[in-house]
Amino acid sequence: MAVDFLTRAFSTSPPFESIAHLRTLVVCSAPVQQRKALALKVMREDLIMRIPHVLTVAGSDSGAGAGIQADLKACAARGVYCSTVITAVTAQNTVGIQGVCAVPEEFVAEQLKSVLSDMRVDVVKTGMLPSINIVKVICQSLKEFPVRALVVDPVMVSTSGDVLAGPSILDIFREELLPIADIVTPNLKEASALLGGVQLQTVDDMRSAAKSIHDIGPRHVLVKGGDLPASLDAVDVFFDGENFIELRSSRIKTWNTHGTGCTLASSIAAELAKGSPMLSAVEVAKRYVRTALDNSKDIVIGNGPHGPFDHLFKLKSNVQNPCSQWVFDPNDLFLYAVTDSGMNKKWGRSVTDAVKTAIQGGATIVQLREKDAKTGKFLEAAKACHNICRLHGVHLLINDRIDVALACDADGVHIGQSDMPVAVVRTLLGPEKIIGVSCKTPEQAQQAWVDGADYIGCGGVYPTNTKVNNLTVGLEGLKTVCLASKLPVVAIGGISVSNARSVMELGVPNLKGVAVVSAMFDTESILVETQKLHAVLMETRAVVK
């Protein structure tokens, strides 16, 4: 039916932005076959989940600490696809750079055209650009194939002090590349070089440099102060043309700093490709680099003074460092525990005891839904539950209360249709956190995906006493929402040991689990009932698969 409608509705002026856009178009005299083909193309683009894509244009580091290799690892860690254009091949290790072989500009141009003409690139990030002509090639390619954002890391001097771009490059940077950049990320030496050798000794100097570089043309500037003399903190200065923002963090004492600049710039590019605002992208990238350094401070690779660090620390965080943040996996929704303050009071339990026991019984994710708790007590309990969940490798979400989630650094929030909009929540929490949304209809589920949620909770599937006048959707309603959703789904509402099997036997691929309140917490033994639920779900999953 959708195809027939779109075929009738097609107009003559592509491109079209979305299905919603198509519905506003009027009937025209375009040939039927042309309208069908265009309609199907738009539907395909609208329905397929977009993969954020960064193209890095940089040099290859044989030691894999910086350059193209660092960009690939950083983008992978940030959850985006990364394609590459290699501008130079270097022979380098932890000691320094032993040789550089620039790639001919004609072949750089060929690489750029291959990627940009075929793949839908969101953001281009540049690193080592060894010649004037290569800079010109990049600028020309971006005119021919525009992208959402350009991140320029003006690589001129390596961590070990080796010069990677000579003075002849500076003019072309200032004249052609920086004016089209959305952000440029120089360290102190690079900022000094761009400004003709001015010395940067203080944070005020960094502010002045950021302003002067902004005057050259980039929309945003981040002057990195990792080498700032006599500074106890690592201070970066961000400037957007109006406001200066100092981004401070404690220094990590480590020799494993090779590739931090490349990694920060490519992480910013990755967050921009996901759709984050510029300042949020910078903040998340800076936090990621700091955490990676902290997790890598004791590794030893090579014999030189500047070792590489572990970009993919998240892969082992659950085992080696349960206090660090890790990526949300939709399978975490398998047995979703939702606490209730009234039930805890009825059975004489603290919320921390309830959460700990539920996790011991097999709960795979926890939502604190403490409607009767005062803010101070709620925050205190949330912090304690956060520690418990971290120790067991389980995500903690807060129901509705964005303020409490921020204050206790929870992994995310779950909100309802009448709560704060997802887009606003995302702005407050940043791209790192998990956002779940309660949905009863296909339209709500589709909107949750558009707005940037990570999963939806659908229900009530069955009648429940935990919410007054809660409209049930039944198994058919749950299935309809699942089929319409591009996000993973957890079923909620009146689910217990007796009916959990029926829910999961719907067999819809994106139905990842069940959320339980009463059947887990309004019982004499949370441990026993949670174990029963977990066993039923495991049996059902084995059969359904």
As annotated, the active-site residues are: 224, 257, 259-262
Question: C-alpha angle 79/426/295, rounded to 5°?
Answer: 45
Q: How does strand 149-152 pair with strand 97-102?
A: unpaired
Among 506, 523, 500, 488, smallest CA distance to 329 is for 488
Under DSSP, is residue 216 helix (H, G, I), strand (E, B) or coil? helix
Q: How far is residue 78 CA from its own chain's centroid?
A: 6
Whether the CB-CB separation of 424 and 453 falls below 8 Å is answered with no
DSSP structural state of residue 472: P
Q: Which residues contact residue 140 at a Cβ distance below 8 angstroms, ignoring those fewer than 6 apart?
A: 109
Cβ-in-10-Å burial (0-12, 13-18, 19+) of 215 comes to: exposed
Q: Is residue 400 left, alpha or beta, with left meaning phi > 0 and alpha meaning psi from -120 to 50?
A: left
Among 123, 125, 187, 118, smallest CA distance to 157 is for 187
Whether the CB-CB separation of 238 and 268 falls below 8 Å is answered with no
Among 170, 99, 89, smallest CA distance to 132 is for 170
Whether the CB-CB separation of 46 and 18 falls below 8 Å is answered with yes
DSSP structural state of residue 182: S
Among 412, 361, 373, 310, smallest CA distance to 525 is for 361
As given in the structure block, the two tokens for residue 323 are 């206090």
Place of tokens 């580091």: 61
Under DSSP, is residue 247 helix (H, G, I), strand (E, B) or coil? strand
Q: Which residues contact residue 344 at a Cβ distance below 8 angstroms, ignoring those fewer than 6 apart?
A: 350, 351, 354, 521
DSSP structural state of residue 313: G
Neighbours of 17 (CB within 10 A): 10
Question: C-alpha angle 134/191/106, rounded to 5°?
Answer: 5
Strands (E), 295-443: 335-338, 365-368, 395-399, 412-415, 434-439
CA–CA gap between residue 127 and residue 236 (Å, rounded): 19
What Å distances lie between residue 118 and 106, 112, 418, CA to CA?
Answer: 18, 10, 42
As given in the structure block, the two tokens for residue 486 are 């591009």
CA–CA gap between residue 327 and residue 305 (Å, rounded): 32
DSSP structural state of residue 523: S
